[in-house]
Amino acid sequence: MPSRPRSLDSSIGTKLLVGFTGFLLFLYLILHIGGNVMVFLGPDTFNGYSDLLLSNPLIIPIEIGLVMIFLVHIYKTVAMTLDNRRARPVKYARKKSAGAPSRKSVASSTMIVSGLWLLLFIVIHVRTFKFGPEYETASGVRDLYRLEMENFSDPITVVFYLISMLVVGSHLWHGASSALQSLGIDSQTWTPRILLSGKVAAVLIAGGFIVITVWAFSQGART
């Protein structure tokens, strides 16, 4: 009997890891948008909240964990894509939706492209905010509000963020169903509900960040 290719044997573990790390990153984004909407409450509340968060001694281990999760997610998805390409070196002549019950869609076929865009976005984003200028408020805490307003007063940054937020939305939109499939969850009752929640969360997260970006730009335009 012919033996199964090695890539097929390891692909289940890989998919589980991709699904699990993707789910953790999704949870991070829910917390991240939750914290960032504080910007609407003004500089004192926003800076006070971020100072409370950043001065927590658990922040360093959490950040290290986040980086590890990112690296595993990226490494495993790229390896999985290359493996799939090797297994099917000739591309399909036409790419189109496979129709129900398959969840193949424009987003699913572009996961690797949207993922790589997000990698570029995160490098630029973390450099801009985390490692950006260390402005201080009169009370001696980091003035992230000023940094955010300054960055979003630049139309090129705003356009880059708006495109990236649409890419985040697309990635999360499909990511939820992709993770469910990878984790083997297929319940008649729960699958549609989880899928719907994933899609609603994708729209709320991307939409929330878009509103913040446009609002911050409009604040800059007013001064």
Using CB under 6 A as the binding rule, whether residue 117 contacts ligand HEM is answered as: no
Considering the rule CB under 6 A, would residue 168 count as an interface residue with ligand HEM? yes
> Residue 161 interacts with ligand HEM (CB under 6 A)?
yes
Query: What residues are paired with 136 via a beta bridge?
Result: 142
Region 22-41 residues binding ligand HEM, contact defined as CB under 6 A: 29, 32, 36
> Is 165:183 a contact under the CB 8 Å cutoff?
no
- Contact between 86 and ligand HEM per CB under 6 A: no
Instruction: Write down the least CB distance from residue 29 to ligand HEM, Å.
Output: 6
CA-wise closest residue to 169 among 214, 123, 106: 106
Structure tokens at 96: 């189109």
Q: Which is nearer to ligand HEM, 59 or 185 (CB)?
A: 59
Residue 137 binding ligand HEM, by CB under 6 A: no
C-alpha distances (whole Å) from 175 to each of 72, 104, 110 are 16, 12, 11
Q: Which two tokens stand for residue 120?
A: 């570029």
CA separation, residue 139 to residues 37, 129, 143 (Å)? 22, 20, 10
Instruction: Tell me, by CB under 6 A, how many residues bind ligand HEM.
Output: 18
First vs last C-alpha separation in the chain: 74
**Sole window of 7-15, 77-85, 191-199, 207-215 interacting with ligand HEM (rule: CB under 6 A):** 207-215
* Contact set with ligand HEM (CB under 6 A): 29, 32, 36, 54, 63, 118, 122, 125-126, 129-130, 144, 148, 161, 168, 209, 212-213
